[in-house]
Amino acid sequence: MGAITYIQAISDGLREEMRRDDSVFLLGEDIGIYGGAFKVTKGFIEEFGPERVIDTPLAESAIIGVSIGAALMGLRPVAEMQFADFISCAFNQVVNNAAKIHYRWGASVPMTIRCPSGGGVHGGPYHSQNNEAWFFHTPGLKVVAPSTPYDAKGLIKSAVRDPNPVLYFEHKFLYRRIKEELPEEEIIVPIGEGDIKREGRDITIVTYGSMVHVSLEAAETLANEGIECEIVDLRSILPFDKAMILDSVRKTNRVLIVHEDVLTGGIGGEISAVISEEAFEQLDAPIMRIASIDTPVPYSPPLEEFFLPNKEKVINALRKLAAY
């Protein structure tokens, strides 16, 4: 079996879950006959029929509302937001209904919301955002953001099986750019567990999603300068793997947090706070963050390049940290 793309891995994971469990069904805009805006669900309507692959009106609130109702009735809906940016239309359904039903009435809401997110694809302010932090702040939700085909497949399967509402942030830039050979056997990546994508002794980089790859490239450059970075890929953002972060910090004593979401109010601030609360005495340098700048995502390609974190920005921060 050859290497498969990140988008293929999501597709495969969904298909496996639908074959495994009849209660799993998909709903979203143009996911059926058209196969999805990015073709994640291409061929699904043919295999599973229009009752399990439902084309919906352009109404995110309705998509999530239907999903919540179906989940309460014992089904396992997987809702697709065509772009993560559009989820704001369903914000109340997500944060006040899906997130709080179990707390309020003790009922399980086993649903997955797929959120194609991220920039670097010149999509402009409404098709490029990384809005995971909106939900990171909402107890009752789970939020994941895979960076590799392996994790993408393993996490979509865990999300479908989870008894809680899970927001699954899949990065559009990675869809067809990242390939990986996957093992034949079933892949399950537990929610809440991070993954060390590179081991190193000098600096810990805490990151997730597309920035894992940017960080890996930067770490490669730094390795040539004798500085070994350890890359903690969170994979799950809520809950995040605190133990893994702290273990790595205790080893390297220096931390850089990298995310593609904008800096202010991004999850990097929370991770930084946890590190300084729980590992203050292990820090040999200030915790640093690299993120997008605090503006809407620019449509202009050169401006978007300026806006996004990139290898050079990460390398500069790492050099600064190493020299501190």
Partner 1 sequence: MKVDVVMPQLGESVAEGTVVKWMKKPGDSIAMDESILEITTDKVDSEIPAPAAGTLVEILTQEGETVAVGTPIARIETEAGATAVPSRPSSRDTSVHDGSDRPGTKVVVYRRPGAVTAKKPTTGKRFYSPLVRSIARTEGISAVELESVAGSGDRGRVTKKDILAFLDARGAATAISPALAAPAMARPAGPVEEIPMDRMRKAIAEHMIRSVQTSAHVTSISEADVSAIVRFREKFKDPFRRQEGISLTYTPFFAKAVVKALKEFPLLNSSLDGDRILLKRAIHLGIAVSLDDGKGLIVPVIRDADEKNFLGLAKTIVDLSNRARIKKLVPDEVQGGTFTITNPGIFGGLIGTPIINQPQVGILGTGAIVKRPVVINDAIAIRSMMYLSLSYDHRIIDGAMGTLYLQRVVQYLESFDPKELGWNVR
Active site members: 127
Which DSSP symbol is given to 288? E
Q: Which of residues 283-302 bind partner 1 (CB under 8 A)?
A: 283-285
Q: What is the DSSP string of 2-64?
A: --EEHHHHHHHHHHHHHHH-TTEEEEETT-SSS--TTSTTTTHHHHH-TTTEEE--S-HHHHH
Query: Does the footprint of partner 1 cover residue 281 (CB under 8 A)?
Result: yes
Q: Which is nearer to partner 1, 253 or 310 (CB)?
A: 253
Q: Report the SS3 class of residue 111.
A: coil
Query: Does the footprint of partner 1 cover residue 274 (CB under 8 A)?
Result: no
CB of 204 to partner 1, least distance (A): 13
Q: Which stretch binds partner 1 (CB under 8 A): 31-39, 145-153, 165-173, 278-286?
A: 278-286
Q: Which of 88, 108, 221, 253 binds partner 1 (CB under 8 A)?
A: 253
Query: Does the footprint of partner 1 cover residue 282 (CB under 8 A)?
Result: yes
Identity at 174, one-letter amino acid code: L
CB of 254 to partner 1, least distance (A): 8
Q: Which stretch binds partner 1 (CB under 8 A): 27-35, 75-83, 186-194, 280-288?
A: 280-288
CB of 285 to partner 1, least distance (A): 6
Query: Does the footprint of partner 1 cover residue 225 (CB under 8 A)?
Result: no
Number of chain residues interacting with partner 1 (CB under 8 A): 9
Query: Does the footprint of partner 1 cover residue 5 (CB under 8 A)?
Result: no
* Residue 135: how many other CB atoms lie within 10 Å: 24
Could you tell me how far CA 23 lies from the centroid of its own chain?
24
Q: Which stretch binds partner 1 (CB under 8 A): 81-89, 121-129, 263-271, 282-290?
A: 282-290
For the four alpha carbons of 236, 241, 244 and 248, in that order, the dihedral sign comes to positive
CB of 228 to partner 1, least distance (A): 13
Q: Which is nearer to partner 1, 185 or 281 (CB)?
A: 281
Contact between 69 and 93 under an 8 Å Cβ cutoff? The reply is no
State yes or no: cis peptide before 239, omega within 30 of 0: yes
Q: Which is nearer to partner 1, 176 or 201 (CB)?
A: 201
Query: Does the footprint of partner 1 cover residue 280 (CB under 8 A)?
Result: yes
Query: Does the footprint of partner 1 cover residue 226 (CB under 8 A)?
Result: no
| CA-closest candidate to residue 231, choices 271, 209, 200, 191 | 200
CB of 266 to partner 1, least distance (A): 24
Query: Does the footprint of partner 1 cover residue 323 (CB under 8 A)?
Result: yes
CB of 258 to partner 1, least distance (A): 21
Length of the chain: 324
Q: Which is nearer to partner 1, 284 or 305 (CB)?
A: 284
Q: Which stretch binds partner 1 (CB under 8 A): 21-29, 103-111, 131-139, 274-282?
A: 274-282
To 5 degrees, how large is the angle CA 168–CA 50–CA 87? 30
Query: Does the footprint of partner 1 cover residue 324 (CB under 8 A)?
Result: yes
| CA-closest candidate to residue 228, choices 203, 207, 253, 206 | 203
| Residues 6 or more apart whose Cβ sits within 8 Å of residue 69 | none
Q: Which residues of 236-262 are buried (b: 16+ CB within 10 A; e: fewer)?
A: bbbebbeebbbbbbeebbbbbbbbbbb
Point out which residues bind partner 1 (CB under 8 A): 253, 280-285, 323-324
